Amino acid sequence: YLLNGEKLFTGNGPVADLVAVSATVLGEGGPKVGACFLDTSTPGFSVGTRLEFMGSRGLPNASLHFDDVLVPADQVLIDPESDQLPFLVGMVALLGRIYFTGAPAMAIARNSLAWSREFIARRSIDGRALGDYDEIQRTVTATLADVYAMESAVRWSLLGSGLTDRWFERFATKNLLVRGAWRIVDRTVSLHGGEGFETVASKNRRGAVPVPLERAFRDARGLRIAGNVDFQLDNQLGRILLGQYYADARTYADDGTQGEPGPGAGTSAAGLSPANQEHARAIDRLVGELRRFAVGLVRRHPDPEQLYAKERTVVLLGRIAGELFNAVAALARAAAAGTPAEAVPAGHQELADVHCAEARHTLSGLFARLEPDAEPDHAHISRRWLADGGADQLVRH
């Protein structure tokens, strides 16, 4: 194969000896996506300008150029059955995404937790310890519960070493981790006030505690883009979910059930506190609601492309699926934590409770947006503004 073109944004690309390049392969049956593996000493390969990101400054990145690069056929993987990347290559990428974006997200989250504790411990405001204030206590529990939920999602996803295990959850976990890290670091910046916005160099100059929050904040933002932009991953997850219902549509009754008992997923409440049992029942009902809604959509849209064009609906379904999975993962972890006791900074039941209480608020908002009573005409408003030439219009009116 002859590889031609430019590849942007590849992590470690300018220092790599071996690169994996996904490329469009033209053929008789239409374009396909192939995975090419090549040595960077191959003639025609060159590194272009270095790219500089807002964060992740330790990650070498550059534009890579391919000018008639000859790649032997046995170094190119193509799925003969589909136009997508070969399934197993996709599974490697899925797992890789958790390691190269999820692991730093987890580190940012846990560091933010430690920095929060250190800051609260050394500050008092108006004669009261900072940790005595209601809003600060809620900030603490929100971060603790976010870290707990993130850990629960990643543990569930990586349980079992099989490459194709729990791939739906692995897909959902990337967004859960990077969004969790973003929420946490944003909250921690506010908690630290001026110190949150201040660079380490400045803190060092005046002898303040050199917490590198500003760097964590910038790094966390990039994690929501690397491995694909967050809303696009929701979109893809929503399509995967709907694809399943398209495949099975005929096996569902109108109420979304497949002949199994109860309306939901049958989430077990064993080993849970009363508050978490209630959460488990509520989540179970929402799983049933999601299924009924998805089955209804699939029935009303015989052509999947017509449905997928309604991107916001698909994105919302992806987000709901992710939130439901995370709530179930946190509850399952809490239920299993009785023996042997696993050390967490607060009680398992309490942390799962805080997470699920918040997740249910988020989920009711997401479900409400799925079927709004009336909606502004977004297509019309944006088209008119874009056609009119943009920003001046806003200033003038």
Ligand X SMILES: Cc1cc2nc3c(=O)[nH]c(=O)nc-3n(C[C@H](O)[C@H](O)[C@H](O)COP(=O)(O)OP(=O)(O)OC[C@H]3O[C@@H](n4cnc5c(N)ncnc54)[C@H](O)[C@@H]3O)c2cc1C
Residues interacting with ligand X, by CB under 6 A? 9-11, 53, 56, 222, 225-229, 232, 311
**Tokens representing residue 324 in the block:** 């439901």
What is the closest distance, in whole angstroms, from the C-beta atom of residue 141 to ligand X in the complex?
31
Measured over the CA atoms of residue 235, residue 64, residue 58 and residue 196, the dihedral's sign is negative
Q: Which is nearest to 353 in space by CA: 288, 296, 280?
A: 280
- Pairwise CA distance, residues 163 & 89, whole Å: 10
Closer residue to ligand X, CB minimum distance, 114 or 309: 309
Q: Cβ contacts of residue 33 below 8 Å, gap of 6+?
A: 22, 23, 24, 25, 83, 84, 85
Closer residue to ligand X, CB minimum distance, 214 or 284: 214
Closer residue to ligand X, CB minimum distance, 232 or 257: 232
What is the closest distance, in whole angstroms, from the C-beta atom of residue 85 to ligand X in the complex?
12
Cβ pair 352, 333 in contact under 8 A: yes
DSSP string, 289-310: HHHHHHHHHHHH-SSHHHHHT-
Closer residue to ligand X, CB minimum distance, 53 or 168: 53
Closer residue to ligand X, CB minimum distance, 42 or 228: 228
| Alpha helices, H only, the chain | 87-97, 103-122, 134-158, 167-191, 194-197, 200-205, 213-223, 230-248, 274-300, 304-308, 311-336, 348-370, 378-387, 391-396
What is the closest distance, in whole angstroms, from the C-beta atom of residue 232 to ligand X in the complex?
5
Closer residue to ligand X, CB minimum distance, 220 or 331: 220
What is the closest distance, in whole angstroms, from the C-beta atom of residue 96 to ligand X in the complex?
9
Element (H, E) at 33: strand 32-39
What is the closest distance, in whole angstroms, from the C-beta atom of residue 222 to ligand X in the complex?
4
What is the closest distance, in whole angstroms, from the C-beta atom of residue 349 to ligand X in the complex?
37
* Residue at token pair 């390691």: 99
